[in-house]
Structure 1
């Protein structure tokens, strides 16, 4: 679920688990002092870019700190899997109060976030919008945790065209840094971990909205193959049109989705369409040019069964690959 786009040597560990490094016990060193608690309220999500592997988020983020107000690390927060280019990521403090529980600070945050989309099931896919918040200094000895009782919420007025928003979730996590960053590890440490808070929002694609516009070329190719089996003349022209329609549809989808999506449902669908076209051409040629010479009656029976067999096999194959 965790995504990290700023370091090829970083491995995101959203839910740390004990690591067995052998028979000798390993003591994990926890950051000293009170935790910095974080909560968020998402107001807008936009620019969902499947080709560039990113989306943009705007939210209100608040922190509570029960320690020394002078040592409050809230101003050092950043989106760890964000994109840094000019003013794309921005933390703006809008309010600060000193309460009985400690310091409370509110920020308005806007950032582009890296998201590695999983599109093998497109357009039947679900995606997790993952935002990981931590301190800019990976060596800071501050523990991060979620605010209570409601650490993460989404504005009821937020609407994503083509998507259904599910229940959001927040939890304390960490990033395992596979390097000592040039500083020796403390006694008892075998792996350097950077504390973080992860915000996850599950979104589900409205599949039926994408079927007609994205797969119209495939539907047309199947229709042309059916017409070629019903019409005795201009059959070659119809087969050629079906090939062009299916190929053009694949090029269209490849232009709006990354190449990884072609390894899933879309790639299998393309294979089924072209195999169906080959089936129509081969069966038609065998029945009309070869089998009719041997047995005209059998040839006529197979000619009648060719269309329903093509439609039935095609629909069954498509049904089997739907995620």
Structure 2
């Protein structure tokens, strides 16, 4: 298609097209490398955090590592397990999720221990607690509760909408610290096959027991000011990730439409100023509107993530389309029509392919699968 026109161009005009293409490709390459690296690091950091959270000896980044239990010979060992019935609410924007689950306690010895009586869901609120079963006998002691709880969780939104999360319930006995009671995770813990979360799939489950230190004396006059308390904490986890790219395309559908609208301006003669510049200008406002729409799905945060990366790629593509239209209009006024035709067709393919590559590589690096 470009053969005769390309052959007829002067050498300096060919170099102009080549340099414009090279500069555009280099800029896109730098942007893709930066955002792809950021998404890779975010994904790795998220996985490392999840591994550390469910390790009995490791601490999450930014958290106090688990401290050893204090020496004691008077504590009771209690086996604790959970069975998640459902997750009725999961709101990334509101930084919370709620669930209904069963929790049970098995122990030997003192029948009056009552480990579930002072049960505490750390970082959460128990909306309802119902004792369903309890018995004490020669085979030991047993309690089973059904809990309805709202859990506060500050989700990592850097890879939304292609992210994975770990939903955790942290259980302690608020009355007895580790010198009196220590939990052991029950391998019988499980998740109901009925448990569904819209837009996500269940990818795993686990549980662990870790020491949890409170650096306070709770204002007690009977304890030193620098007193520390270590409690035995049971942690149950549900691992989830996005089902597929469906929500991703749904979120950015209008942005992609705006990009196509901007790219179509390369097919319009620069002499037709109104449509040539009107299309990318309209596309720019559409892309900005999409950015506001997507941001409304997330909590207020100063972090820069996948949503911002894809939005910036779209806005940059529209901006490049406008800049290159100005270049084409300049040479059209100088009556260099063959150069303008070649320039527009080449830049349509260069910008379009660069944008496409960016929208493949960056989400792929962010995807948790």
Q: If the TM-score is normalised by the length of the shorter chain, which range does it land in?
A: 0.7 to 0.9
Structure 2 equivalent of residue 98 of structure 1: 136
Pick the aligned partner of 1:48 from 87, 90, 94. Answer: 90
| Count, aligned residues | 299
Q: Is the 8 A contact 1:120 1:260 kept in 2?
A: no
* Higher share of residues assigned helix: 2
Structure 1 equivalent of residue 172 of structure 2: 134
The list of structure 1 runs, each at least 4 consecutive aligned residues, that deviate by more than 4 angstroms after superposition, is none
The superposition leaves residues 179-234 of structure 1 with CA deviations (integer Å, 9 ceiling, x where unpaired) of 23345369xx9843221100011011123220232111111111101221223342
Q: Is the 8 A contact 1:144 1:197 kept in 2?
A: no
Deviates more, 1:194-203 or 1:285-294: 285-294
Structure 2 equivalent of residue 320 of structure 1: 361
Distance 2:241 2:151 in 1: 18
The two structures, once aligned, show a CA RMSD in angstroms of 2.7
Structure 2 equivalent of residue 282 of structure 1: 323
Distance 1:147 1:98 in 2: 20
Q: Mapping of 1:61-80 within 5 angstroms?
A: 61-80=103-122
Unaligned runs of 5+ in 1: 2-11, 19-25
The superposition leaves residues 125-145 of structure 1 with CA deviations (integer Å, 9 ceiling, x where unpaired) of 000001100012365743332
C-alpha distance 245-185 of structure 1, shift in aligned 2 (>3 A):
same
Q: Is the 8 A contact 1:292 1:299 kept in 2?
A: no
The superposition leaves residues 103-153 of structure 1 with CA deviations (integer Å, 9 ceiling, x where unpaired) of 101101001011111111111100000110001236574333234442x20
Residue 74 of structure 2 is aligned to residue 37 of structure 1: no
Q: Is the 8 A contact 1:14 1:174 kept in 2?
A: no
Deviates more, 1:285-294 or 1:304-313: 285-294
Aligned to 1:75, the other structure's residue is in SS state coil
Residue 150 of structure 2 is aligned to residue 112 of structure 1: yes
Distance 1:278 1:258 in 2: 28
C-alpha distance 117-177 of structure 1, shift in aligned 2 (>3 A):
same
Q: Is the 8 A contact 2:69 2:230 kept in 1?
A: no
C-alpha distance 28-98 of structure 1, shift in aligned 2 (>3 A):
closer
Pick the aligned partner of 1:165 from 186, 195, 202. Answer: 202
Question: Larger relative contact order (C-alpha < 8 A, sep ≥ 6)?
Answer: 2
TM-score, L = length of structure 1: 0.83
Unaligned runs of 5+ in 2: 1-45, 47-52, 60-67
TM-score, L = length of structure 2: 0.74
